[in-house]
Amino acid sequence: MEDTVKQYFTTAYWSNLMHEFVAAMKTAKFWKELIMMSVGMFIGAAAVYYFLMPSHLIVGTISGLSIVINTALGGNADTFSYWVMGINAFLLILAFLLIGNEFGAKTVYTAMILGPFTQIWDRIYPYTNFTHKVIYDQDILIQLAQGRSVLDIHGNPYLLSRSGEVLEQVKDSVMSAGLGLGDIWFDLMCFVILLSACQAFEFRMNASTGGLDIIAKIINKFLHFDIGASVSIGGAIICCTAFLINDFRMVVIGLLGTWINGLVIDYLTVNMSNRKRVCIITPEWDRVRKYIVDDIRRGCSLYEVTGGYTNTKQMEIQSLLTKDEYADLMKYMRDHHIQAFMTAGNCSEIYGTWLIHKSRYENFMDDLKQRRAEYEQKRLDYMERRKQYWEQRRKEHNKSTK
């Protein structure tokens, strides 16, 4: 760890980091992933703002911990975003010191924009539009304008909107049917589904939402728990802080929500990262192999197998493909009437070298660069031959004039 800390105080480290960052900014992939990560976090911020904050539901996330602190200190939507940013900044520093650069710039970016995005949702369409109604009592308006706290018949405080309207709470949360008629499970399910989709989406981009992910990584590294157990432990600790503002029932619901959140994330990430393990036995194995290697641009393995029924030896091709690549392979074999015995199964985890599939645009650019290099080489060869030709002509001319 001492060497890890020292590297942050060397000029060479920051120079190399800046060079890599500038080089990445010149690629289309950088901006594409930046936009996609921003969209994912914008959805995650909506889940927190509309379903977590109004119901005071504490699920095992940094957003939940921020709600506990913000509510205990009497904050609002603005101060909530500051707590989210502050806690994430602290955890990111711990991540760089204790874990390393695994999360990198992507995690820094996604973690730091969650708070501002909740403020944006608050400006666009406040959740009070769902949970409060406007009343026109001038006496209450005057008292609120003087800074007094006025309670309604249910014991809830009247609020003053940004436009100066008096708001009375009529619902416990966005999904509630009214005061005392709310079902917290609706808020929990909506929040878990949206946030889990956001987290799975960020993992797909080789990023994370920060917060709980960092705590889980630290627990996993130093206490050697499984990463799933680490997430559960970190989430449970955060949920237990909800005893400061919620009753026992709400804390238990939060713990169940944390567990469901983990299940949904596992389901989504496994489905998005699934690969097809394809096994093909065909007399035209070399033709299929060339298509996989040259057109799909994936690796494959060849095995000599013996049929148990016919006792004949044939070649078997095995390859790992994405769902789209598998569909392309099936179409190729149908269009070219290739007779084969073929099996395919899902593979959710891959260790070792895995060729990252390039997009069609990247393949096109690679082909274009290769053609330009070939053209440049041919031009240089032509210039060299031309030079030799004229050099030979000059020598012959000198001989004839002597």
pLDDT digits (tens, 9 = 90+) for 300-336: 899 999 988 888 889 999 998 888 889 999 999 999 9
HSE value, Cβ hemisphere, 13 Å, CA-based, for 357: 17
Comparing CA positions, the residue from 85, 86, 89, 66 lying closest to residue 76 is: 66
pLDDT digits (tens, 9 = 90+) for 2-12: 555 566 667 77
pLDDT at 281: 92
Q: Which residue has the tokens 């020292």?
A: 6
Rounded mean pLDDT of 208-219? 74
Partners of residue 160 on adjacent β-strands? 166
DSSP assigned state of 225: -
Domain 275-347: which CATH class?
Answer: alpha beta
pLDDT at 353: 57
pTM, two decimal places: 0.64
Is residue 281 within 8 A of residue 341, CB to CB? The reply is yes
Is residue 201 within 8 A of residue 52, CB to CB? The reply is no
pLDDT bin (cut points 50, 70, 90) of residue 279 is very high
pLDDT digits (tens, 9 = 90+) for 95-134: 777 766 656 677 778 877 888 898 899 888 888 888 878 8
Distance CA 152, CA 61 (A): 32
Which of 72-76, 222-226, 295-299, 362-366 has the least mean pLDDT? 362-366
CB neighbourhood size of 118 (10 A): 25
pLDDT at 193: 86
pLDDT bin (cut points 50, 70, 90) of residue 148 is confident
In sequence order, what are the residues at sequence separation of 6 or more whose Cβ sits closer than 8 angstroms to the Cβ of residue 378?
A: none
HSE value, Cβ hemisphere, 13 Å, CA-based, for 347: 17
Distance CA 237, CA 208 (A): 20
pLDDT digits (tens, 9 = 90+) for 20-30: 777 777 788 78
pLDDT bin (cut points 50, 70, 90) of residue 257 is confident
The four Cα atoms 201, 252, 245, 182 give a dihedral, to 10 degrees, of 80
Distance CA 170, CA 162 (A): 19
pLDDT bin (cut points 50, 70, 90) of residue 348 is low
Q: Which two tokens stand for residue 172?
A: 């416990």
pLDDT bin (cut points 50, 70, 90) of residue 198 is confident
pLDDT bin (cut points 50, 70, 90) of residue 201 is confident
CB neighbourhood size of 295 (10 A): 13
